[in-house]
Chain A
């Protein structure tokens, strides 16, 4: 098994993939790419249909014997399947259901809101420096039309009032959910799991944008430190190549079209 992990800055989905890889103990070559400059589509990565239509948007890609695996939660499940006993998922089926149901909320409900606000704050200014022709060339290789449209909206700095308000509300909901969940426990599922990585990766970067969502939540504050202190997360954070790695987002999952 030969693995290469193409990853962005250690934040959002790239942080989950990196830390999950280090938790698994499996070996992979690490290839840092600038996701916000669409390098996912210009680095010779053998993108298959699945990676082109990744629901996560511009996330990391783990190439396993030539096949491109995407979507950080499922990359994490893959690593756990490939390295049984890694502790990334609980072994009891009910606990495992609980973890997947929790993570589903994070990736479907929270992640689109975080991606929208993070990109507007940190990616829009970077893309605004590109001329029209250069930007058009950059996104031309992107297969999925709805993803190309999210890129264009990000460059233009477009986020409706309704989506902005919904995104802010999601982040408040997420920090409250974590605070409640941690009553009497150190990790979200009792023992450490992928749920801690996936949740941390999307929640932690919001400290810079929405500090009020983190106020008066002592268990959340201690948990953020606890997750950051894990050797796997430390090693993931050490892959940073920019002064503000937490801000290294790229167009992500879309805001649910049904509301």
Chain B
């Protein structure tokens, strides 16, 4: 029993960010798995905890925290354990910039493609009336729009092409900076690596043509270096679906892009 409760889905994208941060810091927490595909995040029990209806959320000492990247910075500041922010103020600025870049520029493009090929078709197998009611229960208007688009496959060819373009540029940008320094934002492993890894670990599968040993050796080196950390293995062991198995590519296994 801990005084920290973390409500999360799979170790992936937003949910994985605070999970891996807490594990890296060595902070024990009570894990509450919220099934995104069953819309657990919009059910009354969960809305009573996080009225925004977003995952992840954390409760520490009775106080709610949401917004995954903001939670990461909180965990870094509120607990002892290995430092995940560099001491130099310019390096710290770079950590925040790259987290923002993943959160708002590259991440949405990656998730648009992921929802289009993965989450959307999976959820569409459900009863249409149940789906409609589930969408209507979503508290944030922008999340309602996002879910509607994902569920009914409403992304236009143009939007998907733009996401593809951004992903290719993003891969080139990350490859470039990882050719200049060992970690994404500075000379040491930081919150930026944790944030980015959660959106990038499956790139060699989903974007294998653009992200591979020949074309992006620095990204591959970095992904393997992050994967080598014990905290990553402990975090991914908390996954319950085939999504989390994608990480086995770093064990040399052949893995299909599955959901």
What's the minimum C-beta distance from B68 to chain A, rounded to whole angstroms?
10
Determine which residue in B73, B100, B159 has the highest number of CB atoms from chain A within 10 A of its CB, and name it.
Answer: B100
Is there an interface contact between A101 and B92, defined as CB atoms closer than 8 Å?
no
Residue interface bits B64-93, CB-to-A below 8 A is 1, else 0? 011101110110011000000000011011
Is there an interface contact between B74 and A258, defined as CB atoms closer than 8 Å?
no
CB interface residues, B 144-185, toward A, < 8 Å: 144-146, 149, 159, 162-163, 165-166, 173, 176-177
Instruction: Assess A258 versus B149: contact at CB under 8 Å? Given A93-B77, A101-B70.
Output: yes
25 A-B interface contacts by CB (under 8 A): A49-B176, A50-B94, A50-B101, A53-B105, A53-B173, A55-B101, A55-B104, A74-B97, A75-B93, A77-B96, A81-B92, A94-B60, A96-B74, A97-B74, A101-B65, A104-B67, A104-B69, A145-B165, A146-B166, A256-B142, A257-B108, A258-B142, A258-B146, A259-B141, A259-B146
Binding site of A, secondary structure by majority: helix, strand, loop or mixed?
helix
CB interface residues, A 232-259, toward B, < 8 Å: 256-259
Listed in ascending order, the chain B residues whose CB lies under 8 Å from chain A are 60, 63, 65-67, 69-71, 73-74, 77-78, 89-90, 92-94, 96-98, 100-101, 104-105, 108-109, 112, 141-142, 144-146, 149, 159, 162-163, 165-166, 173, 176-177
Give the residue of A77, A94, A104, A257 whose beta carbon is less than 8 angstroms from that of B92: A77
Instruction: Assess A74 versus B63: contact at CB under 8 Å? Given A49-B173, A53-B173, A93-B78.
Output: no
Give the residue of B90, B94, B142 whose beta carbon is less than 8 angstroms from that of A259: B142
Surface stretch bound by B, among A39-47, A64-72, A187-195: A64-72
- Is A128 among interface residues, defined by CB-CB distance under 8 A? no
What's the minimum C-beta distance from B134 to chain A, rounded to whole angstroms?
17
**Distance, CA A71 to CA B97, complexed state (A):** 8
- Chain B residue numbers with a CB within 8 Å of A67 are 90
Instruction: Assess A258 versus B97: contact at CB under 8 Å? Given A77-B92, A100-B73.
Output: no
Is there an interface contact between B93 and A78, defined as CB atoms closer than 8 Å?
yes
Give the residue of B78, B149, B177 whose beta carbon is less than 8 angstroms from that of A49: B177
**Distance, CA A53 to CA B100, complexed state (A):** 11
Give the residue of A96, A101, A104, A256 whose beta carbon is less than 8 angstroms from that of B77: A96
**Distance, CA A77 to CA B66, complexed state (A):** 20
- Is A140 among interface residues, defined by CB-CB distance under 8 A? no
Is there an interface contact between A74 and B96, defined as CB atoms closer than 8 Å?
yes
What's the minimum C-beta distance from B172 to chain A, rounded to whole angstroms?
10
- Is A82 among interface residues, defined by CB-CB distance under 8 A? yes
Is there an interface contact between A258 and B173, defined as CB atoms closer than 8 Å?
no
